[in-house]
Structures are given as C-alpha cells and as structure tokens.
Structure 1
Amino acid sequence: MFIEQAYKGNNTWWRVLITTLCTAGIFIGNFIAYFSMSKEQIDEVYKSMSEIPNNLSLIINLSPFVFLLGLLFLMVRNLHHRSILSLTTSRIKIDYKRILFSFSLVVILTIGVFIVTYFNDNSNIIWNFNPSKFAVLFFISLLFFPCQIGLEEYLFRGYLMQQMGIIVKNRWFPLIFTSVVFGLFHSANPEVARMGYGVMVFYIGTGLLLGIMTLMDESLELALGFHLGNNMMAALLITSDYSAIHTDAVFKYSGVENPAAVLNEMIISIAIVYPIILYIFAKRYNWKDWSSKLTGKVLPPN
C-alpha cells in the first residue's frame, strides 16, 4: 500500500520536521510574504514581474524547483534512509506507461475543450505564435516543468501524504489535509489576487483529484502525468495577462477579466471533467474498494 511505504524509512519526528521545512520552505515563505504585504505592494511585485521577458521570467520562477526536488530526494535517501521508489509507488518498479497515459489524456482533453471553445466563440482569443520564442518556451517547459510538478507531487502526494498517514493512522485525513494545503500554497498566484479566493476551490479540488488518483492507484505515476500535462498545456497553449506565469504561448486571451466566468469554468472542470478523468482511470486500471483505499486505516507492517 502506498502510504505504508513510509514505514520503510526512519521517521523520527525531527527528520520529518527538517525535511518538511527545507523542501516546503519556498511555499511557506511565499505564503507568508504574500499575506504580509499590502495590495499596493502586491500589485507592484506583479507589475515588476510582468516587465521581465516571458521566457526569462519562466526560468526564474521554475529554477528553484530543480534544486528543491533534488534536495527532497537527497533527504529521503540520506536522512530517512528510504528509496525514491518507495516515495513513488507501492509496486516493484515505476510504471512509466501510466505517466505517459495520464499525460496524454490531459493533453487530448485540454486541446479538445479548447477547440470547442475556440469555434464557439473566439472573439477574445488572438493568435500569439512566434516560432523562435515558442521554440525556446517549449525547450524550457521540457526542462523545468518536470521538476516543478515533480516537487509538488513528491512533496504533497508523496512525502507529506505518507508521513501524515502513518501519524494519524488513516487515509482520509492526509488526503484532505494535503489537498487543502496544496490549494492554500497557490493563494499567492496572480489570478487569485485578481479574481478572488473563489479560485481556491479549483486548486483545492485539483489537489483532491490528484490525491484520489494517488491513493486509488497506490502510486504517484498518474498524478505526475496529469500535473505535467496540465501545466505544460497552460504554458504552451494559451496565456493571459492574469495567469500565474505569462508565456509566449500559441494563443492569448485578450478579453476583459471576468472572475465569475472563470470561476464557473473551474467549477465545471471540478464537477464534470474531473469525475470523467477518474472514471477513465478506474476502468483502465480496474480500481476497486474505493472506501477502504480512501478512508481506511493505515497499519504498520507486522
């Protein structure tokens, strides 16, 4: 079982505390800084960020994740004396086909929804494709996004979910806890500041989806593929002035910000698209015993 993989390592409280603070520090610091600043200061920070060339800004934003993912792996191996495999899956090896399937599913669904939306109403969507800039963006995305989503998945759905699970001895609390914390740590994103905290429903809902994938499949592979596909599509397909990161994507949304419309789209994703994704995974991978896997007890090995 996935959560029980944590029992393979040394889980002394101070080791857990040090690893959590060192690897989640970027999220904690960002969270504290955001809520300690005034609205004027926040607007000034976002304005300064928007003046940096898009591709350079993307590198600056994603570079820390390369170091932090490596640090997490290093601490799990040398401080907790565990393998990275135990942090990834309960199976005997990593199933890369699962990552590829989940990634492909998200890419196909995202492009499909975009095509329908575009032909329904493209009045606020403009062609933004610049071959040279897009080529650089594509290379940066391939290089940095795996580390960015890797840190978030290995930290939230991997390390924290496993450690929390063996502490509280159940599955439902770490599922809810990591989903809420995952959402809260995205509260400093520009779209939250511009469209209100209703957007947090989407982030927490996405965290819940990724957590359910992880517990039902007993591994991180599907969550890794989903998260990577989602973030790469957000960077490559369409951008906007109120996105978390501005990019030289193929298209750009040029319309006036409409928080209500954006929130409605997010709610539709959570209420309709996410259950469809879970249904596809459940059928393909023959998921059973949902109640036990999502809410059951966590017991140490005999």
Structure 2
Amino acid sequence: MAEKYSLKEANFITEAQNKKGSYWKYLIPSFLFFGLIGINLAVMIAFDIDQSAIIKKQIDEIGRNMTFVSTIAPLSIFCLLILLYVKFVHKQSIRSLTTTRPKIDWSRVFFSFALITVFLVSLTLIDYATNPADYKLNFELIPFLGLLGLAVVLIPLQTSFEEYFFRAYLMQGIGGFFKSRLLALIFTSVIFGLMHIANPEIGKIGYVLLVTYIGTGFLLGIMTLMDEGIELALGFHAANNLITVLLVTTDWTAFQTNSILISVAEPSVGLEIFIPVFVIYPLYLFIFSKKYKWSNWKEKLLR
C-alpha cells in the first residue's frame, strides 16, 4: 500500500536543515553553473554561432556516438560534483537531498521510469503507424548497441544532475531561505525552462517551445513537492531522455543519435505543441496522485 505523509511528518524543503547562515553556500555552485550557461549563450550570440551547424560538423568528424558523449558528459560529471559538494560542504546526506523518507524509495524511481517509457513508446508507435512518411528507419545494430551502452550510463547521470540541482538543491535552498514552497517551485521551473533557450530546437521552432520546457519544470517541481522527494522526477526525466535518444531523434535537435528512427517531418508550431503541458502532464500527475495518495495540494504547493 502506498504510504501517505503529512506535512508534520515530511517536508522536503526543510530536509536541508540549513542553520547558522549556511545559505551562502548555495551561491557558489549556482554562480558557477549559471555563469557557464551565460557565457556560452553570450558567445553564441556575439559570434552568431549556429549550434546546429556545430553539431553536424562534430557528427561528420567524430560520429554520432562520440558527439552524443561530448554533449552529455559535462552534465554527467556535474552530477557527481554537486553530490560531493552537498555531502562535504553542506554536510548534508544524499538521502535528505533526495527524499523525506527514511531511505530513497527506488520503487518510485522505477515506477515513474516504467510509466513514462510505456507512454512514450506507445505514442511513438501510434504516430509511426498513422504517419509512416514522417519517419525514416535508422537502425544499425553495432552503432545502436554503442549508443545503448553509452546512454544507459550517461543519461541517468545527466538527468539526475538536473533533478538534484533544480528540484532538490535549488528548491531546498530557495524554499528554505524565503520560507516559500511556491516561490521555490516558480523559480526553479522557469529557470529550468530558460536553461534550454540555446538548444537548436528553439532556433528551429521558436521561443514558443519554451512553454514545453518551463511546463516540464513545473511538472517535475509539483511531483517533487507533492511526493516530498525527487524519486518520481528522477525516473521521469531519465525515461524521457533515454527513450528519446534511443527511439527517435531528428537532424535539428540537441540529441542527434544512432536512434532506431529519425523523424523527417517538419516541426509544427500549432496548438499540438501545447498538448504535453496541458493534457499529458496533468494525466501523469493524476496517475501519481492516485497511486501515492497525495493530499494537501494547496498547503504543499502554495504556502
């Protein structure tokens, strides 16, 4: 039976136990990470750099698998660095950075991973069956097996960094400092979305795509606050990125891999771009809320 926590029993924001003016410690990794993002964006704008062209050049020179590694490896390394920083500088346990439960609930991670995997694979197969002209079969056994091995190791590290940094580290820091779960949710969700502004798909589709990225940030933030831990967010994010790089990619996104399928359809900017945020994401929240018996929505999200 799924457990049910009350606010008195569990509060993810206060798990950090920040005492004695330790909030300044949050500034160091925040300035470093956002500083790197800012410098990268400034250089791209100043020199009018076409990121899609850079990715294509890398693929021509070192292949898709090594281009994938060069794209994802930095965030994978950051995952290990943020966990070490929290443990040795904040003197905070990884468990308390992850969840309010006595130990990390891996069943939540695996359930979320399985749910998103089934959903994404099903939607892709349905779309492939109804719109086969929009896809090109790209499967080659050896390159795919190489991608599979790399992705299974690197994707969980990359997505875990983003979850530990945004939904755990910053959410606990901002929420604890301002004593506001709502402010922590809004800030981390918006910043998470804007972090993707330099992605090549933004240049292809337009800034309207930020609605999806910011909406995803809100989804993951709501899951974290309602469930009092990031286990569900960890599973969701890992499944979303892993299935994407393995199953279907395009020639104009950040990930251009040796996936099974390549989408050759021109990207749409119609109303369907909002379907994930306003239709599918609420469905995910409904499923999770029923399984884990979430309650006190107003207190957990707005106070």
TM-score (ref. length: structure 2): 0.91
The CA deviation string for residues 26-58 of structure 1, in whole angstroms up to 9 with x for no partner, is 4344333334332x5545434433434110001
Query: What's 1:124 paired with?
Result: 134
Query: What's 1:260 paired with?
Result: 269
SS in 2 for 1:280: helix
Structure 1: state its 5+ residue gaps. 297-302
Query: What's 1:48 paired with?
Result: 57
Retained in 2: the 8 A contact 1:126–1:251? yes
Query: What's 1:240 paired with?
Result: 250
Distance between the aligned counterparts of 2:156 and 2:12, measured in 1? 22
SS in 1 for 2:262: strand
Q: Does 1:226 align with 2:219?
A: no
Q: Does 1:287 align with 2:294?
A: yes
Distance between the aligned counterparts of 1:239 and 1:134, measured in 2? 13
Query: What's 2:200 paired with?
Result: 190
Change (3 A) 1:117 1:43: closer
SS in 2 for 1:252: strand
Query: What's 1:172 paired with?
Result: 182
Q: Does 1:30 align with 2:37?
A: no
Distance between the aligned counterparts of 1:224 and 1:58, measured in 2? 21
Retained in 2: the 8 A contact 1:87–1:158? yes
Q: What root-mean-square deviation, in Å, do the aligned CA atoms of Structure 1 and Structure 2 show?
A: 1.7
Deviation at 1:168, TM superposition (A): 1.2
Match of 1:270 among 269, 277, 286: 277
Structure 2: state its 5+ residue gaps. 1-10
Query: What's 1:64 paired with?
Result: 74
Query: What's 1:299 paired with?
Result: none
Identity score, percent: 38
Retained in 1: the 8 A contact 2:200–2:254? yes
| One-letter amino acid of the counterpart of residue 302, structure 2 | T
TM-score (ref. length: structure 1): 0.91
Deviation at 1:253, TM superposition (A): 1.1
Change (3 A) 1:195 1:184: same
Deviation at 1:128, TM superposition (A): 0.8
Distance between the aligned counterparts of 1:60 and 1:68, measured in 2? 14
